[in-house]
Amino acid sequence: MRHREAAERTLLTAIAAGTAPAVLADVMLAAASERAFADSGHSLDFINKAFECLDLIGWSDAAAVLPTVVGQMVAARGAEEPTAWRQPVDLVALCEQAAAELPDLFAARREMHDWADHAALARDLLGDHPVGILEALKAAIRAGAAPADLGRALAYAAALRVARFGNANEHADWETAHHVFTYANAVHRMIERIGTANTDGMAVRGVLHGAMALYLARYLNVPPARMPGEGGESLDDLPADAPTICAALLDAFDRQRQVDLAARLAARHLTVGHSPQALIATLARAVLREDAGFHAYQMLEAGVRQFAAWGETDEGRHILR
């Protein structure tokens, strides 16, 4: 898709014809995933935000909102163009081969339900071998995973990549981890929105691309940073009551090189059983008062969305930390 005017006219025609939001989501996800991990994930993330905006303001404004993302979609550069996705392993070809198998894989699992191995699949997606990663996704489908299940596992794996990001990495490396996570969140949210509107499983192409982007970012966890409270680490040196923890967290954000302390305070808040909503409100206040950049808002919003998918579980707490 490279012709902006033609793409906008096609989209507006579909909206005027009363096409259901789930079908529009399927069409736009399909178009966005024609290019692997387009524009470092930004293209799909902006599409997801346009749909979420319409959820808030009403779908009567779809003709004004959805075409605003088309310009970026047609201009986006796909990951199939740079060398990293082609050498030493052709990741694009691997994704295309796996995508060709999706319709048959999902057709075979149509009557299966109650698949719940999201965390185990996420660990497989953090592997070091691209073929093994794609095989893990296919095995999950055979075992009963729906497209939304795959998106949820991918988003959790991407969150763990961020959580285990070492402080010794460069700032540009952080951008890499951030892009994969926000892209994975957008894939998950769009697939959930599509629901049963997609019957051939091709919406999962975005999951395949996200899994390969996650694979390419594996160096960011060498060595992996320890998550607070992991390995028997005690957090008892930190305050126990919620207001004091939240005040200490805001104070930590006011000082440089307090990443580890901030993470420990967030973990402390959750492990002693305080309301996650109070922690989320504190994080939102910190972002707003600093007049933070776009990426900080992206990360917070994606983290809150993914926490909502997991709830107050170990996985959910890992995401908020």
The string of pLDDT tens digits covering residues 158-173 is 999 999 998 778 878 8
Q: Are residues 92 and 210 in the same domain?
A: yes
Q: Are residues 145 and 44 in the same domain?
A: no
End-of-domain residue from the set 75, 98, 122: 75
DSSP string, 61-104: GHHHHGGGGHHHHHHPPPTTSSGGGTSSS-HHHHHHHHHHHHHH
Write out pLDDT tens, residues 81-105: 888 999 999 999 999 999 999 999 9
Q: Count CB neighbours of 87 within 10 A.
A: 9
Instruction: Evaluate whether 156 touches 211 at the Cβ level (below 8 Å).
Output: no
Q: Are residues 235 and 206 in the same domain?
A: no
Separation between Cα atoms, residue 159 and residue 284, nearest integer Å: 18
Instruction: Enter the tokens of residue 166.
Output: 């070492």
Q: Is the pLDDT of residue 13 over 70?
A: yes
Q: Are residues 97 and 203 in the same domain?
A: yes
The count of structural domains within the chain is 3
Nearest-Å Rg of the Cα atoms of the chain is: 20
Helix (H, G, I), strand (E, B) or coil at 203: helix
Instruction: Enter the tokens of residue 244.
Output: 């004091």
Q: Are residues 178 and 152 in the same domain?
A: yes
Q: Are residues 285 and 210 in the same domain?
A: no
Q: Domain residues for 245?
A: 230-320
Q: Are residues 247 and 277 in the same domain?
A: yes
Q: Are residues 57 and 99 in the same domain?
A: no
Q: Are residues 217 and 238 in the same domain?
A: no
Instruction: Indicate left, alpha or beta for 273 from its phi (over 0: left) and psi (-120 to 50: alpha).
Output: left
Contacts of 254 (CB under 8 A, 6+ apart): none
Q: Is the pLDDT of residue 198 over 90?
A: no
End-of-domain residue from the set 169, 204, 221: 221
Q: Count CB neighbours of 221 within 10 A.
A: 18
Separation between Cα atoms, residue 13 and residue 24, nearest integer Å: 11
The reported pLDDT for the residue numbered 130 is 98
Q: Are residues 10 and 134 in the same domain?
A: no
Q: Are residues 160 and 127 in the same domain?
A: yes
